[in-house]
Amino acid sequence: MVRAMTADSAAIPDRSARLAAIVLILLAGVLTGAQLGKIAPLIPWYQAELGLSLVASGWLAAILGIFIAVAALPAGWAIDRLGLARSIQIGAVALAIGGIALSASASPAAIFAARLVEAIGYLALCVGLPAALNAISPVNWKGPVLAIWSGFVPLGFATSDFLAASMLPAATPPGFLLTIVLVFAVFATAALILLRGFDLNVSAGAAGGIRQTLSREVVLLAVSFGAFVVLSVSMFTFLPSFVAGEGAHYLVSAGAVALSVPLGNVAASVLVRGKGPAQMARLAIFGFAISALTAVPAFTLASPLLATLSALLLAISGALVASAQFAAIPFLTPRGGSVSVAFGLVAQAGGIGTVFGPPLAAAVAESFGWAGFGWFLAATALVGLACMLPIAGRRTLSAAG
């Protein structure tokens, strides 16, 4: 059994166990994100076989994100009080039970009830898992590890899409749903077993609260992350429609553009190593600047090569932004504050952006066309950039937890 340790203990025998725990948490996070994306490939089945309307199917897909938009900050506070280990256990059990029930549900009432149980688990894990990564990572690992974590939702969507493509239609949709939640359960269980040897509660800042945590820098980071989510989710929501129409000259598919996102996550994980919050903020500012410069060309240029390159840079620079922002969270959390609460606030800002960003972007596109859509993305990037400027000028502090 792994002995109890703090995040900064550097004993060589603990290094492999620490690295294994981090890898398993990251994998559990990707499979958590996959539970968000697993409904989209099944919407036609829910409509044809179970009688759900398109609107009801959309709500079914969106429930998990809505929970984040409404309750991530209070969830961070609750997790800080319950303890990270217990909260992750509760979240994993709820997500697994809800997912298994969803795979066996045939009536609309049962389907939505199961999805609500999943949403409770998803909420706890979206806040608890990155806080656990912060708690068990040495200071020089925190930034790179959290930079990689920031890609758990797009990687989760890619995982669910890949699994659906490989299993359907040979397997039944309930079989697909059961498989994807059982894979999550395997990684979550393995991560929880390794986490038993870590002192999560002390490292995660259990004494902090909302008031002690919400400094100006943390709030600015959350608002900036919300702007990033509006930009990113809006882009990836409507890029397939653009590529199918006016953007048919793109040299790659919309899916290929989305698959470029991990390049930004990996690049950021290298660039933030050993850096302080001001330098991480400057990296996010650089990413926002690239996004602002490429958003309009991506949706207006007639050149296939330049338009495609602009879209790829827009996707990769966005990943660079999110990774740098997540990496900075423990370094910006005030002493006496709670990293869990900070993660909760940032996640809630992202959830709000997920809910309201696409409808706003759609309204802009309908009124001003794809050029207006590009300008909307560019303006959103500049809002996010402006919020990061005060953080870029702060002095370097040690990470909380």
Distance CA 149, CA 146 (A): 5
CA distance 277 to 327: 8
Cβ-based burial of 54 (10 A; exposed 0-12, middle 13-18, buried ≥19): exposed
Structure-token pair, residue 179: 């498989």
Residues 267 and 152 in one domain: no
Whole-number Cα distances in Å, 325 to 82, 354, 378 = 26, 17, 19
- Ranges of the chain with pLDDT below 70: 1-13, 201-208, 395-401
Last residue of a domain, one of 139, 169, 203: 203
The verdict on 190 and 214 lying in the same domain is no
Token code pair at residue 264: 């930004």
The residue out of 172, 203, 234 marking a domain boundary is 203
Angle at 46 between CA 42 and CA 47, to 5 degrees: 120
Note whether residue 383 is domain-resident.
yes
Of the three residues 154, 188, 203, the one that is the final residue of a domain is 203
Query: Cα 376 from chain centroid?
Result: 22
Residue 2: the pLDDT is: 37
Co-location of 98 and 247 in the same domain:
no
One domain, residues 127 and 234: no
Shared-domain flag, residues 264 and 178: no
**DSSP category for residue 55:** H
280 with 306, same domain? yes
Determine, yes or no, domain membership for 4: no
Q: Is the distance from CB of 233 to CB of 240 less than 8 angstroms?
A: no
Confidence (pLDDT) at 4: 38
Whether residue 401 is contained in a domain is answered as no
Number of domains in the chain: 2
pLDDT of residue 222: 97
* pTM recorded for the entire structure: 0.86
Does a structural domain hold residue 320? Answer: yes
How far apart (Å, rounded) are the C-alpha atoms in residues 219 and 230? 17
Same domain membership, residue 227 and residue 113: no
Distance CA 398, CA 334 (A): 10
pLDDT at 395: 62
pLDDT attached to residue 58: 85
Establish if 143 belongs to a structural domain: yes
Q: Are residues 241 and 167 in the same domain?
A: no
Residue 72 falls within a domain, yes or no?
Answer: yes
The alpha carbon of 247 is separated from its chain's Cα centroid by a whole number of angstroms, namely 27
Enter the tokens of residue 53. Answer: 């309307």
Q: Domain containing 296 — which CATH number?
A: 1.20.1250.20
Q: Using CA atoms, how far apart are residues 6 and 201, in angstroms rounded to an integer?
A: 10
Instruction: Give residue 97's pLDDT.
Output: 98
Pair 175, 237 in one domain: no
Q: What residue numbers bound the domain in which 256 lies?
A: 210-392
Residue 301 forms part of a structural domain? yes
* Model pLDDT, residue 206: 46
Domain co-membership, 234 together with 109 = no
pLDDT of residue 401: 55
Same domain, 232 and 139: no
Same domain for 299 and 280: yes
- Rounded distance between C-alpha atoms, residue 80 and residue 206, angstroms: 5
